[in-house]
Amino acid sequence: MNSITTETSKKSSKTQIGFTLWFTGLSGAGKSTIADILEKRFKTQGLKIEILDGDVVRTHLSKGLGFSKEDRDANIRRIGYVASLLSRNGVIAVTAAISPYREIRNEVRNLHENFVEVYAKCPLEVAEKRDVKGLYKKARAGELPQFTGISDPYEEPLNPEIIVETDKQSPEESADKILKWLKENGFIGV
């Protein structure tokens, strides 16, 4: 085997698998916090990763959309499409958006070859206590109509690949559980 073939073999054995790690859960469930921990850990391993945070995407990609069901669906479709482009090009796309509706999450799943749904499970009362932005308080006061978990439904996933119970686990423990699952299922190296 010549040196070019040997070098090519070494590179191909380290090829990163692109996939989408799709977080779903109530506002305040810990999706972004866990995603940030995973980003640091993936980068330490030299992996390519992009985080598509719901709040950031709304500012740049979905500006002008409101919070009606149609607008929320459009926002999730946009996030899903961008995530599918990234993942099919060998990037780990991590989404951290509430994505409250099951039907749209399933539609987005079907865009992907490698899709891992992570349910950041957290009781509403715990999410409300964590509410650093004051959104639940505003929703309870009627200032934020169609707020997920208060005046608009959150449809829990029926068969997520991973469930992290963020009221019982620290963000680091949740990240560890996700990494363990990804390793055991061949998405990332051991």
Q: What is the predicted pLDDT for the residue at 8?
A: 34
Q: What is the pLDDT of residues 27-65, one digit of tens each?
A: 999 999 999 999 999 999 999 999 998 777 877 777 778
How many other C-beta atoms can be found within 10 angstroms of the C-beta atom of residue 4?
8
Q: Which of 2, 188, 15, 21 is nearest to 112 (CA)?
A: 21
Q: Which of 101, 64, 65, 94 is nearest to 79 (CA)?
A: 94
Q: What is the predicted pLDDT for the residue at 114?
A: 96
Rounded distance between C-alpha atoms, residue 30 and residue 177, angstroms: 14
Q: What is the pLDDT of residues 77-123, one digit of tens each?
A: 999 999 999 999 999 999 999 999 999 999 999 999 999 999 999 99
Q: Tell me: pLDDT of 7 over 50.
A: no
Rounded distance between C-alpha atoms, residue 153 and residue 156, angstroms: 9
Q: What is the pLDDT of residues 135-169, one digit of tens each?
A: 899 899 989 888 898 988 999 999 999 999 999 99
Give this prediction's pTM: 0.87
Give the residues across from 23 on adjacent strands: 96, 118
Q: Tell me: pLDDT of 12 over 70.
A: no
Catalytic residue flag (residue 99): yes
Q: Tell me: pLDDT of 2 over 90.
A: no
CATH number 3.40.50.300 is the correct assignment for the domain at 16-175: yes
In the sheet with 115-121, reading across from the earlier edge strand, the strands are: 49-53, 92-96, 19-24, 115-121, 162-165
- The burial class, CB within 10 Å (0-12 / 13-18 / 19+), for 41 is middle
Assign 23 a pLDDT band (cuts: 50, 70, 90): very high
Write down the catalytic residue from 32, 84, 87, 99. Answer: 99
Cβ-defined contacts of 77-85 (< 8 Å, 24+) = 77/104, 77/107, 77/108, 79/52, 79/54, 79/108, 80/20, 80/104, 80/107, 80/108, 80/111, 80/112, 81/111, 82/52, 82/57, 83/20, 83/22, 83/52, 83/108, 83/112, 84/20, 84/108, 84/111, 84/112
Q: What is the predicted pLDDT for the residue at 151?
A: 86
User: Would you state the structure tokens that stand for residue 190, as one six-digit string?
Assistant: 């051991």
Assign 72 a pLDDT band (cuts: 50, 70, 90): confident
Q: Tell me: pLDDT of 5 over 60.
A: no
Q: What is the predicted pLDDT for the residue at 66?
A: 77
Rounded distance between C-alpha atoms, residue 56 and residue 58, angstroms: 5
Q: What is the predicted pLDDT for the residue at 54?
A: 76
